[in-house]
């Protein structure tokens, strides 16, 4: 249940044990374990979740309507609460189903979510050992809520901080020379096939989002033409492999790493593209055909160009607290934790099913840090 900011500001000297920045699946899973820790011990951690969205659902609020999960609802669970079954799309839930699930998850566990509040910057104060979170009212990506009039610029203090901002707000577009005369989009802004009626569309990207969006457009009879550009031939997964199998393999990787063994790595022979029903249908009908990648935007003559080229971690508020040497960012101060950004944080950590084990570990570390 979302709380107005004023609830958190009644005591100007209040110091949170933990501030969780983000409102999606990673933030909620971490909050669940902190809440459970409070019920098991005499001293419950004092924490809050800061979400810049006006309603529950995280990035799922912004997915295109025909997008679906890679696995059935009964295998797409956050800790403690199964996702309700979904009857359509052969059991693969759409974004709206996930949003409803996350909303109910917040309500069921009475998670202290403050929204909409956008954390601009997080700083570490060496003398006190506290983090200062500088905030302004939330993103305004949707209508104000009944409590939004109470939200104002503010600074909170916390003993620990969990970064759970995900990647959706940091879309990546590679550089290519030349000029494209039409309208450019990204996976993050793709609205579904309707706005492309009568138009020609180029889709760039050889992974899941590229295949799904190209199939979505090809399946729409009103779209004049779809060209799917890829840098390498698409690597289709076997038709009987879905998110359940991917989770099993990520779980094996996590257990190996936790036991101090070498990371066995992802199974590169498995392929990259999950064969969801719509993707399989478009491939088998010949409507989903790869085209070798262009070398200049001057070569692209379609009306629209959709970049399905992935995302980067949305770590802007924490950049002053991270070291960027090596392959992945790492916290420079004890008490800052990262959850849900992909394999460099932990295998499967960016998925609904896989984030739980990582959230549980971080919650335990938060409790240890605040009680030490």
pLDDT at 37: 84
Q: Which of 318, 370, 308 is nearest to 339 (CA)?
A: 318
pLDDT at 147: 36
Selected from 3.20.20.70, 1.10.1740.10, 3.40.50.720, 3.50.50.60, the CATH number assigned to the domain covering 183-236+271-307 reads: 3.50.50.60
Write out the H or E segment, with its range, that includes residue 19: strand 16-21
pLDDT at 148: 35
Q: Which of 4, 255, 236, 274 is nearest to 116 (CA)?
A: 4
pLDDT at 263: 61
pLDDT at 141: 36
Report cis status (omega within 30 of 0) of the bond before 215: no
* Rounded distance between C-alpha atoms, residue 287 and residue 227, angstroms: 10
* Rounded distance between C-alpha atoms, residue 112 and residue 4, angstroms: 10
CATH 3.50.50.60 domain residues, the chain: 2-170+311-371, 183-236+271-307
What number does CATH give the domain 2-170+311-371? 3.50.50.60
pLDDT at 145: 37
Write out the H or E segment, with its range, that includes residue 2: strand 2-3
Q: Within the chain, which residues score under 70 in pLDDT?
A: 1-12, 41-42, 89, 137-153, 221, 242-269, 326-327, 372
pLDDT at 2: 60
pLDDT at 160: 98
pLDDT at 1: 56
* Rounded distance between C-alpha atoms, residue 103 and residue 92, angstroms: 19
């Amino acid at each position: 249940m979302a709380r107005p900011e004023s609830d958190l500001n009644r005591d100007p000297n209040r110091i949170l044990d933990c501030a969780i920045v983000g409102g999606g699946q990673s933030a909620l899973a971490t909050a669940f374990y902190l809440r459970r820790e409070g019920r098991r011990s005499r001293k419950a951690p004092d924490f809050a979740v800061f979400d810049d969205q006006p309603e529950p659902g995280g990035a799922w609020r912004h997915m295109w309507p025909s997008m679906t999960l890679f696995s059935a609802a009964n295998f797409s669970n956050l800790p403690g609460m199964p996702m309700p079954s979904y009857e359509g799309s052969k059991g693969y839930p759409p974004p709206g189903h996930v949003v409803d699930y996350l909303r109910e998850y917040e309500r069921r566990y009475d998670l202290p979510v403050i929204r909409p509040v956008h954390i601009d910057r997080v700083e570490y104060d060496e003398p006190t050992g506290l983090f200062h979170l500088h905030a302004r009212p939330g993103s305004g990506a949707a209508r104000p809520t009944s409590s939004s009039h109470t939200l104002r610029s503010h600074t909170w203090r916390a003993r620990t901080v969990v970064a759970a901002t995900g990647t959706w707000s940091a879309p990546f577009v590679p550089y290519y020379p030349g000029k494209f005369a039409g309208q450019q989009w990204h996976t993050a802004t793709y609205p579904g096939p309707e706005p492309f009626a009568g138009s020609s569309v180029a889709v760039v990207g050889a992974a899941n989002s590229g295949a799904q969006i190209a199939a979505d457009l090809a399946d729409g009879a009103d779209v004049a033409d779809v060209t799917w550009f890829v840098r390498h031939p698409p690597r289709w997964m076997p038709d009987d492999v879905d998110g359940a199998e991917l989770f099993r393999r990520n779980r094996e990787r996590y257990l190996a790493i936790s036991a101090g063994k070498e990371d066995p790595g992802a199974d590169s022979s498995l392929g990259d593209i999950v064969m969801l029903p719509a993707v399989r249908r478009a491939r088998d009908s010949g409507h989903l055909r790869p085209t070798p990648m262009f070398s200049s935007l001057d070569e692209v003559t379609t009306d629209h160009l959709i970049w399905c080229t992935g995302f980067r971690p949305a770590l802007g508020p924490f950049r002053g607290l991270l070291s960027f040497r090596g392959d992945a960012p790492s916290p420079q101060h004890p008490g800052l934790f990262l959850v849900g950004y992909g394999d460099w944080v932990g295998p499967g950590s960016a998925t609904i099913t896989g984030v739980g084990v990582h959230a549980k570990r971080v919650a335990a570390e938060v409790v240890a840090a605040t009680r030490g």
